[in-house]
C-alpha cells in the first residue's frame, strides 16, 4: 500500500505542470516590480555625466580599455626585442664565421668571395685607406683558375702548397700596388672613364685580338680566368689607370720622345736616332727596323701600333704613340700584300715602382693576412 502511495506521489506532478510552475516563479519575480521601477533602478546605475566630470569619466573608460590593450602591447614589444636579439646573434655569428674563413683559414670559395663583394672586409691598409679583401680574392682566384684549368694543377695537394703561397703573396702585392696607384691618380687628377675602357676593347676586337665575337670572348674569359665581361672591364680599367699615371708622371720619357720626333721632322736620320735612343735591343742596332713584315692580326705587336700603321703612308713618320708601356715613333718603309715593313724607336716608360716607392715612406702599409 505504501509503495503505491510513494509511486503516486512522484507521478502526480506531470512534466507540463513542472514547467508551468517554473514560469510562474519567473513571472512572480518580474511582476514584483513594475517596468517603471526597473527602469528607474537602471538609471541609478548610470553616472551623471556633465562638463565637470566628463574628463574623469573619459579616464575611467580608457583605464578599463587599457586592461585589454596592455597585454597586446606588452606581447608586441617582447616579440620585437626577441627579434632584435635573434638578429644581433645571427649577425655576430655570421661575422665570426666570415672572419675565421677570411683571416684564419683564408678561404677562396665562391661563397666567401661573394660575401667579400657585399661586406667590405679589409685585407690591408695603405695609410688611412683600406685595401679590400674582394680585390685580393679577385686577383688570386683568376690566377688559381688559370693554373687549375689550363695547367691541371691541384692546389689541395701538398706539393702545390708552395706555389699557392706564391700566388697569394703576388695577389696581395698587386692589390696594395693598385691602392698606391689610386692614391697617385687622385693626387694628380688622373681618371679612366668607362668609355675609354670600351674604346680599348673595340680596338682589340677590330684587330681580332679578343676573338671573333663577344660570345667567343666571353667563352675565353670564362675558360682561362673564370671571368665575365664585367670582370674583364674591371681588370682593364686598373691597367689603363696605371698606364695613365705613369704616362703623366714620367715626363723625362715624354720630353725625350717629343725631342726625337722634332728632330726627325727636321730631317734627322731615323736609323741614327734609333741606335742612339731606342730601348728595343732587338732592333736598335739595325736602325730600328723590324726584322719581318707585320700583318694586321699580329698579336705580338701593340694594338696602338697596328692601328697607327693603317693610317700611314709609305715613308711617313708618326708622332709618339702611347702603347701604355712605351712611347713609340714609327716609320712605314713599305706595304706589300697587307704586310707592313716597319722601323721604330721605342722609349720605355719608367716602372710604376719608381713613383710608388717614395710614397711608401709616408704611407704605412699593414697586411692583415700572413702566409
Structural domain span for residue 311: 251-349
Residues 230 and 122 in one domain: yes
Residues 245 and 257 in one domain: no
Instruction: Report pLDDT for 296.
Output: 85
Residues 255 and 343 in one domain: yes
Query: What does the block give as the cell for 218?
Result: 666571353
179 in a domain, yes or no?
yes
Cβ neighbors of 229 (< 8 A, separation 6 or more) are: 214, 217, 218, 221
94 in a domain, yes or no?
no
Of the listed ranges 25-29, 55-59, 271-275, the least confidently predicted one is 25-29
For 276-319, write each residue's pLDDT tens digit: 999 999 999 999 999 999 998 888 899 999 999 999 999 999 99
Closest CA relative to residue 332, chosen from 289, 281, 287: 289
Count how many domains the chain has: 3
Residues 266 and 171 in one domain: no
- What is the rounded CA–CA span in Å between residue 305 and residue 291? 16
Looking up residue 330, the CATH number of its domain turns out to be 3.10.50.40
298 in a domain, yes or no?
yes
| DSSP secondary structure code for residue 122 in this structure | E
Instruction: Report pLDDT for 79.
Output: 80
Instruction: Report pLDDT for 63.
Output: 67
User: Residue 354: what are its φ and ψ, rounded to 5°?
Assistant: -60, -30
Determine the average pLDDT of the residues in 13-37: 54
Structural contact between residues 302 and 349, judged by C-beta atoms closer than 8 angstroms: no
146 in a domain, yes or no?
yes
Instruction: Report pLDDT for 208.
Output: 81
Residues 231 and 185 in one domain: yes
Instruction: Report pLDDT for 68.
Output: 57
36 in a domain, yes or no?
yes
358 in a domain, yes or no?
no
Give CA 221 to chain center in angstroms: 19
Query: Does position 13 have pLDDT exceeding 50, yes or no?
Result: no
Instruction: Report pLDDT for 20.
Output: 58
Closest CA relative to residue 344, chosen from 297, 278, 266, 255: 278
Residues 240 and 206 in one domain: yes
**Percentage of the residues of the chain whose pLDDT score is greater than 70:** 80
Cβ neighbors of 102 (< 8 A, separation 6 or more) are: 112, 116, 121, 133, 369
Domain finish residue from 215, 233, 249: 249
Q: Environment class of residue 231 by beta-carbon count within 10 Å: exposed (0-12), middle (13-18) or buried (19+)?
A: middle
For 152-182, write each residue's pLDDT tens digit: 999 988 888 899 999 999 999 999 999 999 9
For 49-70, write each residue's pLDDT tens digit: 566 666 676 666 666 666 555 5
- What is the rounded CA–CA span in Å between residue 226 and residue 344? 37
For 224-261, write each residue's pLDDT tens digit: 999 999 999 999 999 999 999 999 999 999 999 999 99
Looking up residue 175, the CATH number of its domain turns out to be 1.10.4030.10
> Which pTM value belongs to this model?
0.76
Buried b (16+ CB within 10 A) or exposed e, 335-362: beeeebbbbbbbbebeebeebbeebeee
Instruction: Report pLDDT for 231.
Output: 96
Query: Does position 39 have pLDDT exceeding 60, yes or no?
Result: no
Amino acid at each position: 500500500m505504501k509503495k503505491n502511495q510513494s509511486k503516486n506521489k512522484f507521478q502526480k506532478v506531470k512534466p507540463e505542470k513542472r514547467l508551468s510552475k517554473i514560469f510562474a516563479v519567473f513571472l512572480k519575480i518580474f511582476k514584483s516590480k513594475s517596468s517603471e521601477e526597473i527602469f528607474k533602478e537602471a538609471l541609478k546605475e548610470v553616472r551623471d555625466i556633465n562638463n565637470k566630470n566628463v574628463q574623469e569619466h573619459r579616464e575611467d573608460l580608457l583605464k578599463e580599455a587599457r586592461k585589454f590593450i596592455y597585454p597586446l602591447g606588452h606581447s608586441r614589444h617582447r616579440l620585437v626585442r626577441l627579434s632584435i636579439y635573434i638578429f644581433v646573434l645571427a649577425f655576430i655569428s655570421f661575422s665570426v664565421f666570415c672572419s675565421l674563413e677570411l683571416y684564419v683559414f683564408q678561404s677562396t670559395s665562391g661563397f666567401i668571395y661573394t660575401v667579400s663583394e657585399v661586406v667590405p672586409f679589409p685585407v690591408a691598409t695603405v695609410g688611412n685607406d683600406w685595401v679590400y679583401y674582394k680585390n685580393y680574392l679577385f686577383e688570386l682566384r683568376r690566377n688559381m683558375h688559370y693554373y687549375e684549368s689550363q695547367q691541371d694543377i691541384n692546389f689541395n695537394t701538398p706539393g702545390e702548397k708552395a706555389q699557392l703561397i706564391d700566388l697569394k703573396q703576388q695577389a696581395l702585392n698587386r692589390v696594395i700596388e693598385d691602392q698606391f696607384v689610386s692614391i697617385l691618380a687622385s693626387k694628380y687628377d688622373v681618371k679612366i672613364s668607362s668609355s675609354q675602357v670600351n674604346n680599348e676593347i673595340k680596338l682589340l676586337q677590330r684587330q681580332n685580338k679578343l676573338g671573333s665575337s663577344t660570345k667567343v670572348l666571353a667563352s675565353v674569359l670564362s675558360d682561362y680566368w673564370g671571368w665575365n665581361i664585367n670582370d674583364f672591364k674591371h681588370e682593364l680599367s686598373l691597367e689603363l689607370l696605371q698606364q695613365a699615371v705613369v704616362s703623366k708622371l714620367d715626363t723625362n720619357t715624354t720630353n725625350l720622345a717629343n725631342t726625337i720626333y722634332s728632330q726627325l721632322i727636321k730631317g734627322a736620320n731615323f736609323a741614327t736616332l734609333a741606335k742612339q735612343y731606342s730601348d728595343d735591343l732587338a732592333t736598335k742596332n739595325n736602325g730600328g727596323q723590324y726584322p719581318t713584315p707585320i700583318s694586321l692580326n699580329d698579336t705580338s705587336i701593340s694594338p696602338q701600333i697596328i692601328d697607327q700603321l693603317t693610317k700611314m703612308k709609305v715613308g711617313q713618320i708618326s708622332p709618339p704613340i702611347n702603347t701604355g708601356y712605351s712611347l713609340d715613333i714609327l716609320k712605314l718603309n713599305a706595304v706589300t700584300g697587307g704586310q707592313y715593313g716597319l722601323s721604330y724607336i721605342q722609349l720605355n716608360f719608367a716602372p710604376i715602382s719608381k713613383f710608388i716607392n717614395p710614397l711608401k715612406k709616408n704611407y704605412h702599409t699593414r697586411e692583415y693576412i700572413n702566409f
